[in-house]
Chain A
Amino acid sequence: MSAPLLEARGIVKSYGQVEALRGADFTLLPGEVVALIGDNGAGKSTLAKILSGAERPDSGEIAVDGEPVVFGSVEEARSAGIETVYQDLALCPDLSPAGNFFLGRELLKPGLLGRLGVLDNAAMRGRTKEACERLGVQLKSQAAPVSTLSGGQRQGVAVARAVTWAKRVVFMDEPTAALGVLQTQRVLDLIRGVRDSGVAVVLISHNMQDVKAVSDRVEVLRLGRRVARFDTARVSMEDLVGAMTGAIEHENGR
């Protein structure tokens, strides 16, 4: 077994009186899809925020490739190759796919024009098209604003953006929550595509079918702690639900 790509130990995080995480652990190996599941309030989103730099833990350790790290901001997590697809996608509806893709990291023209802040739209469009094609996201037009795309295409743009910038890990928070059956299928294909391109995926989901369909492993949080880990291929739906609800506890039960 290779060293974990991303590992968290004993993460504690409180919001006022509420203890969201009480010593949570998490392990992600290179090139796998891990589903992070749990009931409402189990701390999934909090853990994801901490691991992607959006929040800071009160205590606990995070390590990337076995090296301890402290993420003070989303930017710091990004520079470690970690990106997040937010549940609301964080797209600007009036910008083109390329505009969204390069939002905050715009490419500038070479030379004097670039120093004046002039955008290199052709290059950005080209790279966006490339990235979308690689992940099987089909866009009718590169110029149309994102607001004209279907929900699935928007999801595709957001995922493709995260994957393009993520060198190591992509967190996806409920990526299929708002989607229909066909669109969900496309996103799951996308997740497999991401894994095949060598980037690990953390899938946060309520949907056990999605979890079973796409993940390699499952980690279960309950009341702010990791209570179980499973190989997806060898776990039943009953076990997953049992671990989420507390009927079964087997942290070391692999």
Chain B
Amino acid sequence: MDRVRLRDRQVVWIAAVLALLLLTFSVLRPGSFATSFNLLNLVSDAAILLLLATGMTYVIITAGIDLSVGGVLVFSAVAATKIMETTGSLLLGAASAVLTGLAWGLLNGVLVAKGRIPALIVTLGTLGMSLGGALLLTGGVDLRAPGDLNLGLGLARWLGVPQIAWICAAITAVLALALARTRFGRHTYAIGSNAEAARRGGVAVNRHLIRVYGLAGLLAGLAGYLSLAKYGITGVSAHSTDNLQAIAAVVIGGTSLFGGVGTVVGTVIGVFIPVVLQNGFQILGVRPFWQQVVVGAVLVAAVYVDQWQRGRRDQ
């Protein structure tokens, strides 16, 4: 029972840290930080990263890792742009981004599950391949998104909140429930906890791993499309640290790199902490580079706590 409390406590702790940050910045700059405009900015900055981090949560819970998300995002955005240029259809563009992402994810999954190559190596390889592929397709020059995508979905709001944020929030909520409440989620935890036991219990471990990596790829593809809508360009050189941001968010949110433990709720908080820091520092006039320093420290602390808990458990 102790460990359950500890785990729950970790999510509560990290939520408290986030609340404290929000409070501090609001008190220090009530005029600018706590305004609805700034809060909306926070949400929309976080939304696309949230998709990547949610997929990453599933992958890390299986005791895997996916370094390729940023590359897959860019590749999918490029593929979608090309399709939209040719067909003129935004819908086909969205479909092609999602399918391209899914294909990269499935490739990761097959290589990890069937090829028995460490996930770190597989996804480092596909990161290089997808980024390099995107550069080959574009000649290294960013492609522009169709105007009606950038000015449409990119600016559209529901109830004052960007549509992109709604989409990301809805998908994240569904995947949070799926992880916590469904058989798919249960098998994800089981594989990360003890893959051999899961196999002997009758879980189709390889098939499940392929699906999990496929999901992460699919989300990266969708993130590519949304990022295209939001920023208007493919951003071929802007996403090389997306993987690290996503991993940091997942780990800060209490998911264990050793697998078997974690929640999407924790990841949501883990996504917002760096975003809030960056935004707060900007408003306070602190040099924004501090954000990187602080997030790095929080990340190390989160992993230290995880190790410490495992150590206690394995005694």
Interface residues of chain A, those whose CB is within 8 Å of chain B, are 74-75, 86, 89-95, 99-100, 103-106, 108, 116-119, 140-141, 143-145, 147-148
Q: Which of the residues A91, A104, A116 comes within 8 Å of B194, measured between beta carbons?
A: A91
Q: Which residues of A contact B198 (CB under 8 A)?
A: 92, 103-104
Q: Which residues of A contact B182 (CB under 8 A)?
A: 116-119
Q: Which of the residues A89, A90, A99, A140 comes within 8 Å of B186, measured between beta carbons?
A: A99
Instruction: Check if A140 sits within 8 Å of B183, measured CB to CB.
Output: no
Q: Which residues of A contact B1 (CB under 8 A)?
A: 140-141, 143-144, 148
Q: Which residues of B contact A86 (CB under 8 A)?
A: 200
Please name the residue on chain B nearest to A78 by beta carbon: B202
> Is B4 interfacial (CB 8 A cutoff)?
yes
New A-B pairs, 12, CB < 8 Å, besides A93-B260, A106-B186: A92-B189, A92-B198, A92-B260, A95-B189, A100-B197, A100-B201, A103-B197, A104-B203, A119-B181, A144-B4, A145-B3, A148-B313
Q: Which residues of A contact B138 (CB under 8 A)?
A: none
Q: Which residues of A contact B181 (CB under 8 A)?
A: 118-119
Instruction: Check if B196 sits within 8 Å of A105, measured CB to CB.
Output: no
What would 24 A/B residue contacts be, using CB atoms closer than 8 Å?
A: A90-B196, A91-B194, A92-B190, A92-B197, A94-B192, A94-B261, A95-B190, A95-B260, A99-B189, A100-B197, A103-B186, A103-B197, A103-B198, A103-B203, A104-B203, A105-B202, A106-B186, A117-B183, A119-B183, A144-B2, A144-B3, A147-B313, A147-B314, A148-B1
Rounded to whole Å, the gap between the CB of A58 and the closest CB of chain B is 23
Rounded to whole Å, the gap between the CB of A109 and the closest CB of chain B is 9
Please name the residue on chain A nearest to B5 by beta carbon: A144
Q: Which of the residues A74, A108, A141 comes within 8 Å of B183, measured between beta carbons?
A: A108
In the bound complex, how far is the Cα of B198 from the Cα of A91, in angstroms? 8
The 10 A-B residue pairs whose C-beta atoms are closest, nearest first, are: A104-B202, A94-B260, A104-B201, A103-B201, A92-B193, A94-B193, A90-B197, A117-B182, A92-B194, A144-B1
**Which residues B191-223 have CB closer than 8 A to chain A?**
192-194, 196-198, 200-203
In the bound complex, how far is the Cα of B27 from the Cα of A151, in angstroms? 51
> Is B184 interfacial (CB 8 A cutoff)?
yes
In the bound complex, how far is the Cα of B2 from the Cα of A134, in angstroms? 26
In the bound complex, how far is the Cα of B80 from the Cα of A97, in angstroms? 46
Q: Which of the residues B3, B178, B193, B314 comes within 8 Å of A95, measured between beta carbons?
A: B193
Instruction: Check if B193 sits within 8 Å of A106, measured CB to CB.
Output: no
Instruction: Check if A94 sits within 8 Å of B189, measured CB to CB.
Output: yes
Please name the residue on chain B nearest to A147 by beta carbon: B313
In the bound complex, how far is the Cα of B199 from the Cα of A74, in angstroms? 11
Rounded to whole Å, the gap between the CB of A4 and the closest CB of chain B is 26
Rounded to whole Å, the gap between the CB of A72 and the closest CB of chain B is 14
In the bound complex, how far is the Cα of B197 from the Cα of A179, in angstroms? 20
Most buried by A among B1, B190, B203, B314: B190
Known contacts A90-B194, A103-B197; is-contact A119 B260 (Cβ 8 Å): no
In the bound complex, how far is the Cα of B62 from the Cα of A185, in angstroms? 36
Q: Which residues of A contact B203 (CB under 8 A)?
A: 103-104
Rounded to whole Å, the gap between the CB of A55 and the closest CB of chain B is 13
Instruction: Check if A91 sits within 8 Å of B183, measured CB to CB.
Output: no
Q: Which residues of B contact A75 (CB under 8 A)?
A: 202
In the bound complex, how far is the Cα of B97 from the Cα of A46, in angstroms? 51
In the bound complex, how far is the Cα of B192 from the Cα of A152, in angstroms? 24
Please name the residue on chain A nearest to B202 by beta carbon: A104
Rounded to whole Å, the gap between the CB of A116 and the closest CB of chain B is 7
Rounded to whole Å, the gap between the CB of A130 and the closest CB of chain B is 20
Q: Which residues of B contact A103 (CB under 8 A)?
A: 186, 190, 197-198, 201-203
